[in-house]
Amino acid sequence: MFAKNKILSSIQMSFLAAATISGSALAEEQQDGSVKEIEKIQVTGSRIARYELSQPSPTITLTGEQIEQAGIPDLAQVLSELPAIGATGTLRANTGSNENAGSSTIDLRRLGTDRTLVLVNGKRHVAGQQGSAVVDLSTIPTSMIKRVEVITGGASAIYGSDAVSGVVNIITRDDFEGLELKVGYSDSLHGIGNKNKTFSLVGGASTADGKGNATVYITKDSVAEVMERDMRHYSESGTVNNPADTGEDDGIPDRLWAPNILSEWISQTSVLDYSRTNYTFDNAGNGQLMPTRDLSNSSAFGSFPDGCELCFSTSRYENFLPERDKVTVGSFFNYEINDNVKFYSDVKYVRSDIIQQAQPAYRFGDGDTVNLLENPFVSQETLDFFTAKAAQDDSINLERIGIHKFFDEIGNREARNKRETFRLVSGIKGDFTLSETLFDYDVYYSYGRTENDRVQANDLIIGNWVAALDAVINPETGQADCRANVPSMQGEGYSNPATVDVNSCVAYNPFGYDQASDEAKAWVSANVTRQDTIKQRYFGGSVSFDSAEWFELPGGAMGMALGYEKRWESSGSITDELTKSGALNEVATPDTYGEYDVSEWFFEVNLPILSDVFLAHELSIDGAFRRADYSHAGEVDAWKAGFMWSPVEGYSLRGTYSEAVRAPNVTEAFSPRSPDFARVWDPCDVTRLANNPNRAANCAALGIPADHVGQDNASKRVIIGGNPNLTPEESTSFTLGFVTTAFEDFSFSIDYYDIEIEDAIQSITPQTVVNNCVDGPELDPIYCSQITRDPNNKSVTFVESGYQNTAKRVLSGVEADFNYNLDLGDFSLPGSAKINLFVNHVIEYDTYEFQNNPDKPDRQDGEIGDPTWQATFRATYNLDDLSVTWSSRFIDRSAIIDLKETYNADGEKEGDTPEDTAYPYAPSMVYHDLSARYLATEDLSVELGVRNIFDKLIPDYVGGAGTSSSIYDPWGRRAFVNLTYNF
C-alpha cells in the first residue's frame, strides 16, 4: 500500500529519527527473496503514518534518559537548554509571579508561551495558568516520559490554535510491565541549598491473553527554597549615575556599577521625611539620621559603599527559587476489545504546594504623616530634634511629618499556592477495512481541570494603618490609643479612616523594629485569597487511509487523514471580598471569568509524486488545512504545504510553508479592566529627555520642568484589562533544509527557518503608554489621556493600558544537527560512542510594537535571552553495562542593553549603546556536565552526575532569576544521583 523509500534504511541517529513506532507492520520483498518487516511511523507534525524522515518538518527529540541525565526535576529547564527553545518560563523564571509560582512552561523560539502548543501523547492538555492555554509542564512527571518531540514553526493546520511557534509532544510510558522504583537526589556542592528530591513507583501488568495492560504510578518530588541572598553571585550592587559623564558619545560610561544599592528613604524601622532629609530609628526606636548616599541610582535608591544597616533592599526578602512539593498519581489502561478496536485511557491527579517569598508590604510616597506633638510613641529626643529643625525652617509642620515604613515586622508577603490538576483522556482506536482499503481511526474525549488556591499573607489594610498610626494619649486611661477611639481628640471634621473592623483600632508604634503590639500588627494586616479555576473538555476523531485501492501516483499511494474536534475552554478567578473592596495595599482585583468554544475540522494529504527514478529517489508533497470556528473570534483558516526531495539516495531537500493562527485567550479577550501596580520609568525625567528628540518639547508642553526627577523606583497604579474586539493572530512560517544519511554512521541536517507573526496580540504596557504620549512629533492625545500626574511634583501616578492587535514579530535563523556513531572496535578499542552537535544561529529577531510603524523594529537577537549563537554537544561512551556522557552547551555573548538599531529624525541612533552602562553585555558562557550510568545488577542501575563541572558562575549583573536570564546556570557545580530498581 505504501511504496518504501530506501533512504530510510540508513537512518540511525536519534535526533533525525524522532519518531514513535506505531501502526501496522507491512512486508517488503527483498532482492534475496526474504521478507523484511517495516513499520509505519507516526511522527509529531503529521497525522499520517509514514516512515522515518518521510516528512518535511524538522523534528528535535529528547529522550527520557537524557532528561534524567540532566539531574533537574524541572522539565522546562531541561528543554530550555535546547538551542531551538532557549530562555523560557521555567520554575526559576516564574519566581516573582504569585499567580504562576511553582509552574513551569515552555516558549519555543521565544515567540511567547501562549504560541507554543503542548501535547501529551498527541492530545491537548488542560492549561496550568489562569486565563491562558499555557500548559504547566510540572504536571507531567519526568519519570513517566519516554521522549519529547519538538516541531518548531507553524503547526496550526495539524493541531489547531496556539501552535504558532510549534508543538511540543510529550510521549509517555503507557504500556509497562513489572514494578519499578526510582529515587533521585541533587544538591549544590557549595552549600547553596538547592536540594531536589524525586521518588517514583511504577507498576504495570498485562492481561493473561495479552490484549490489555494497566499501568499505575505515583511520583513525588520536592524542590527546596533558595533565597536570593543565599546565591553565590548575589550582591546588592547596581548601576549609578557616573558623575564624570559629560554626555552621549563621549567615551565615558553613563552609569557605573557600584556596591550596596539601597534606599535611605524607607526602612523597616521607619523614616521621617523632612525637607528631603531622612531621620530614622534603630531597632529600639532611638532616633538617628540616615547616612548620605555616595552616588545615585535614582531618586529613591543610591550607593552606600560602607553599607547602610537600616536602609531598604528588596532582594533580601525574595526567593531565587520557591519551595515546591508535588505529588502525582495516575494510570494508563489499554485493552484490545477485538482485532479492530482498542480502548485506552489516561487519568492523573497532580497536587503542588508552593511557598514563595516576596518583600513585605511598604508605604512610601503615599502621603502618610505622623503628629509628633501628640503621638505617644515619639521619644523626647526625636521631638526635640524636630522642634529645633522647625524653628529654623517654617516649612516643617510638626503635626504632619511624612513617614515611610517597610513592614518587615508583620512578615513577608508570602505566597502560598495549592495547585491541583485533574485530567482524563479516553477513547477507542484501531482500524477497519472497507472494500480493500484499511482505515486507521481514533475517537477520543478529554476533560481537564486545574484549580489554584492562592494565599498572599501579610498584606496591609491601608485605612486601618492610617488610623493606627494616628495615635494619641487617651485622657480617660492615660494610655496610647487611636484618635479614632478618643472623640475628645478628634477635632472638627474628623473622619475615621479605618475600613475594616473600624471600632477596634489598636494604636501602632512605628518607631523601631517590632515595637508595635501583636494586636496592632494583626489589626492593620490581612491575607489576600484567590481561587483560579481552569476547565477544558473536548471530543474528536480522526481517520487516516491511502488511495491504493483507487489509484497510485508514480511514487506510491496517496496518504490522507481527516477529522473533527469540538473543544470548550473556560477560566476564572475569584478574589476575597476584602481585597475586592480596595481596602488592602494589594490591588483591588475583581473576579474574572471567560469562556469560549471552538469547532474544528481538518484534513491532511501526503502525495508521493516520484520514487526510485532519475533525480527523484523520492519526491513527495504534503498538505494540510484546518478551519476553526471560535465563539469569540469567528472563523479562521490555517494551512500548510511541504515537500521532501531526494535526488539520489541519502541526500534530501525538505521544506514547509504554512499559515497559522492563534485566537485570543481568555485573559486577552475577557479579563475585566482592573487596577494593578507596575514599574513605570518617567520619560520626562531629566536623565531621559535626550533619549528621544521630541521629548523635551512635549514634556514642556505638559508643564513639566526640564529638571524634573520622576519617582521611578516606586510602583505606579495602573489599570489593565482584556479586549473583546481582538481578532486572531496570523503567522507565516517557512523552512528549507538539507538532510544527508548517505553514510552508515553519520547523518547531518541543516534547516533555515523564518516566522512572521502579524496582528500579534500584546498588552500595551504602561511604559509604552507614557512613552508614546511624548515621543511623537507632538503630544499624542490618546496616550496622554491615559496618564495621570501629580499636580505638584508632576510624577506619574496612574496609567491605563490593555490588549490590542498591534504588534508584529519577525524571526529567522539556521540550525544544524550533526550525529555520528563510532564503533571503537574499528580502532581496536573497546566499546562504542555516539556524538551529537546541535547549533542554532538567529539571523534576525525583531519585534514591532506597532506593526503599522515598520521603520521602528525593536531588535531582540543578540540580547539576553536571545543569543545570536547557541550550541549543544553530547558524547556518550558505552561499554557493556557502563555508559558515560559528556555534554556541553554554549551561549553567545548577549547584550543587557537594548540593541535597538533605528534612528530618530536627527539621524541619531535610538536605543542603548555600550557607553550607557559599565556592563552592557553578559559574557559568553560554556557549561560542561558529566554523568555515568552503570547497570550494577540485572535489576539495579545507578547514575551519578555533576552539572557545571567547572563551576562556571554568572556575574552578579546578569541576575539569573528573570525569564531572559534563566537561560544561564546560576548554581555553579552540583551533583546528582539516580537509582532505578526493577522488581
Quick one: three-class SS letters along 224-259?
CCEEHHHCCCCCCCEEEECCCCCCCCCCCCCEEEEC
C-alpha cell at 487: 472623640
For the chain, list residues with pLDDT below 70: 1-55, 153-154, 713, 902-909
Output the pLDDT for position 264: 94
Output the pLDDT for position 722: 87
Output the pLDDT for position 898: 87
DSSP 288-325: EEPPPPSSBSSSS-EE-TT--TTSB-GGGG-EEE-EEE
User: Could you count the other beta carbons within 10 Å of the beta carbon of residue 414?
Assistant: 18
Output the pLDDT for position 42: 57
Distance CA 302, CA 311 (A): 10
967 DSSP 8-state letter: G
Which bin fits 286, alpha (ψ -120 to 50), beta or left (φ > 0)? beta
Q: Which residue has the cell 530550555?
A: 80
Query: For the purposes of burial, counting CB atoms within 10 Å of the CB of 175, is it exposed (0-12), middle (13-18) or buried (19 or more)?
Result: middle
Q: Which residues contact 761 (CB under 8 A, 6 or more apart)?
A: 662, 664, 668, 726, 729, 803, 804, 805, 807
Element (H, E) at 637: strand 634-648
CA 222 vs CA 195, 328, 378, 939: distances in Å: 8, 12, 48, 26
- The mean predicted confidence, pLDDT, of the chain is 89
Q: Which residues contact 149 (CB under 8 A, 6 or more apart)?
A: 18, 20, 43, 44, 59, 60, 61, 168, 169, 171
Output the pLDDT for position 32: 44
Distance CA 373, CA 489 (A): 13
160 near 133, Cβ under 8 Å?
Answer: no
Output the pLDDT for position 907: 62
Q: Is the pTM of this model over 0.75?
A: yes
Longest C-alpha distance within the chain, in Å?
112
62 near 83, Cβ under 8 Å?
Answer: no
Distance CA 616, CA 3 (A): 14
